[in-house]
A and B are shown apart, each in its own frame.
Chain A
Amino acid sequence: MATISRPVPGTLVRPRRSAGLWADAWSRLRKNRLALFGLVLVSLLLFTGIFGPLLAPWPYQAQDLKAVAAAGGGPLPPGSPNHILGTDQLGRDLFSRLLDGARISVSVAFVVQLVILTLGVPIGALAGWFGGRVDNLLMRFTDIIYAFPDLLFIILLSVAFRDTAFGQAIDGLLMVFVAIGITSWVTVARLVRGQMLALKETEFVEAARAIGVKDRRIVTRHLLPNGMGPIIVAITLGIPGAILAEATLAYIGIGVQPPRASWGSLIAEGQKWIRSEPHLVTFPAIAIALALIGFTFLGDGLRDALDPKLKGKQ
């Protein structure tokens, strides 16, 4: 095949690496103050989740009984010497316990999203790509899971498996994480399916088929990268739900076992003292609220950054 033309003479194009869509999205995200605030909160949470116990002045289960006795029994108030946020009635340092709780919230965020990714993305992708009977089967299954009342299902799952070999093999806390994941992959599966359905009709996918690109490569190279934006957003916005679900379960006593504490169980323990020592409830509640706000702002910002056309819409 002969070349027609030489490179157009006189053009001033220099080879340059241009901003891809991800770089573009980052530059938009950087301009969004709320999203940046969310990013800071999320980074802070991740940092404390990973390094928290190293920073903590006390081990989470250590009891400073002397200080409690010196104060005449009962929880120490915030600002006490050695206990910046005070202690509970057993003399355990609240700040250290909060830092340890962050670790639980971070792991719930990760484990749940991992379950969602490994279940939701493939199931949605298969249903959307193949369509027809496969789609019908997978989506009816998804509907059944979706129809279950989440919290009840999680409670049943964790209670039912607690005494079985499976439940013993894994930690009770992990059981709760998996249960939360199992009830929450459906949203992502539906989203991925919708993305696939929309994208497989596009002309660039048709062009890939006309070229002879194999199905698997079309899915991994064209469909998933293009559908990634909304999936990332859905996952980011799904994390607060998972954190809240874990906190709710801990509050009613499922999941984390004493002496360990998650933010939810700290609130549950602290409510006995809510009149005299409200800080035992307030600080864990603030921690939960900051985590939720962080992920929500970041998710909203990501949505606007990844798809500027959607801005302002829900």
Chain B
Amino acid sequence: MAINKIVQSRTEAVQGIGDGSTVLISGFGNAGVPTDLIHALLDQGSRDLTVVSNNAGTGDKGLAALLREGRVRRIICSYPRSAGSIAFDELYAAGKIELELVPQGTLSERMRAAGAGIGAFYTPTGVGTKLAEGKEVREIDGREYVLEYPLKGDVALVEAEYADRWGNLTYNKSARNFGPVMAMAAELTIVEARNIVELGQMNPETIVTPSIFVDRVLHVPAEAATAA
């Protein structure tokens, strides 16, 4: 039977995401944010979410809208505050959201470890700082390292430039950022792709995310996309 991961609607794309899920959301600043999938999740109604994303949303679309609607209990990110991160800033000042601040490289490596089946890893990042408080520190070859655990998603929402029906992906410039690592780190990886191409049209030498990491693909042409 032909494998076809392409879904026909936003509703179908986010079907089955449960309350309390951990949701990995790609993007760095506004580049690579799957805004339409986030709005599909908003319409779907899941609550009490833990969101993992480098930033905490800006303006009033995408992650900012999800925050504003009170769907997110906890956010795990490296740099929540940006110009325009009003939704997050207000929730934070009011004590209405939990923040786990993670050094940026540790954030992506924890997801890489989850996707790669690695039980934990030692990193030199954060040694002797408040962000390493309470964590195991080990000296290896004369240098101190902090023990960090994998960060697995129940769901990943990822934006891509090209996809085929198997779920092979390529990205656009610096919109790639967290997409490939989040795609491999979740139980259910849902992709919003600008372009869908026939199987075999993507160059196997330049596919960035191989199909095995992807579960669903929603076609959101650039002209139909919700602006971040």
Partners in one complex: no
